[in-house]
Structure 1
Amino acid sequence: MDAPDLDPVRRIVTRDNGLASVSVVRGDGTPHSSLVNAGVLEHPLTGRPVVGYVTYGPVKLRNLRERPATSILWRAGWEWVGVEGRSELIGPDDPADGIDDEGLRLLLRAVFTGAGGTHDDWDTYDRVMREERRVAVLVEPERVRGNA
């Protein structure tokens, strides 16, 4: 089966800094939603396009470790695109075979730029990500829906 087309996500990300609502599932089955900057990037190990964002929230990370189902929704005006899939965590407490410290540093940058981010001081960005133990959340798209 072919992977869902993420071109609508790529287009809408440029319209509002990749600002998106992400929803994960709590232990009691209710949704936990928050606002993130998210975008499309290549998975660092498979090369397949995925949706990514960066987090360090202990509640969201605990929920994702236990229940990786994720929904992300972008909107710009009346246009919207949603992606549903399973999350993979890659970070200091969620190591991935083949991703060392340098690979994580580059992955966090790729997630940031995939969401439309730019930075004038990448060394500071890298330091803050390391100090805050930031985690890349990569969502393998199973469904893409919307009107954009």
Structure 2
Amino acid sequence: MSLEITITEAIKAAMRSKDKVALDALRAVKSQLQLLKTENRDQEITSEQEISILQRLIKQRKDSITQFSAQGREDLSEVERAQMEVIERFLPAQLTEEELEVQVRMLIEQTGASSIKDLGKVMPLATKTLAGKSDGKSISEMVKKLLS
């Protein structure tokens, strides 16, 4: 089932249960999917694009949480955190730190990277291979850690 259909069903469920936080988060996802569909009228939306949208929305929520917490607005921070949790349910299972390390080690071996200077070889492959399974920041930190 496509993400759009899944989100539509989840919106209906949130409306029935009167879950405003989930409804707002799901509508944001649906809005971004519709925007992508409009931009790419002649192309089918890929699962990588759908995952990218979800990750972008989660990153926006994380940034908002950081800003609201810095300003002492824990009420708004909690709303963003709850929305982030709703959106995360639609992402594939995320890798643990140990699993991420194993995957990155294999990619480093594949590329023949040996030092931090080879970061440019590993990162494009790592972000493509691990898309949806881990966020870019975690991937970058792990690659830097293992190449140092």
Q: State the TM bucket, normalised to the shorter chain.
A: under 0.3
After TM superposition, the score normalised by the length of structure 2 is 0.25
After TM superposition, the score normalised by the length of structure 1 is 0.25
Higher relative contact order (CA 8 A, sep 6+): 1
Higher strand share: 1
Higher helix share: 2
